[in-house]
Amino acid sequence: MNIELSRFRVRPGQMPLVEEWLDFLNRNMDAVLQTLDGENMLVETIFSEHRDGADYLYWFSIQGDNGLDVRESRHWVDRKHLEYWRACIDDTYTHVDLAPRVTMIPARVMDTFAGCGQPSA
């Protein structure tokens, strides 16, 4: 199992497109959730922040082992998601992966993750 929190900078002036992107994900949540199985993604949440004159998106995820990389997906929602990514995320900024220091997941929740080491067919 892999737990991540990463920060990505938004290209200047692209927050309206980011809002469109996040709205797209919310409006198509049924399709988005279908794609998570192939990625063996157990939890994925996107946060936003404006600080020091720049906008950032943060991805928090809990992913099982051996999941499909989103860039390998042929699902229409993933292709559109990556289109937005390329238009919105500043590739001149090296993203930041924050290091987990303490993970607090109750056993009853961890038990639901059991068997998530293999992606769904």
In terms of CATH architecture, what is 2-113? 2-Layer Sandwich (3.30)
The domain locations on the chain are 2-113
The predicted pLDDT at position 113 comes to 79
The predicted pLDDT at position 80 comes to 95
Per-residue pLDDT of the chain (121 residues; tens, 9 = 90+): 899 999 999 999 999 999 999 999 999 999 999 999 888 899 999 999 999 999 999 999 999 888 878 888 888 999 999 999 999 999 999 999 999 999 999 988 888 877 665 444 3
What is 43-108 written as a DSSP string?
A: EEEEEEEEETTEEEEEEEEEE-TTPPPGGG---HHHHHHHHHHHHHB-TTSPPEEEPP------HH
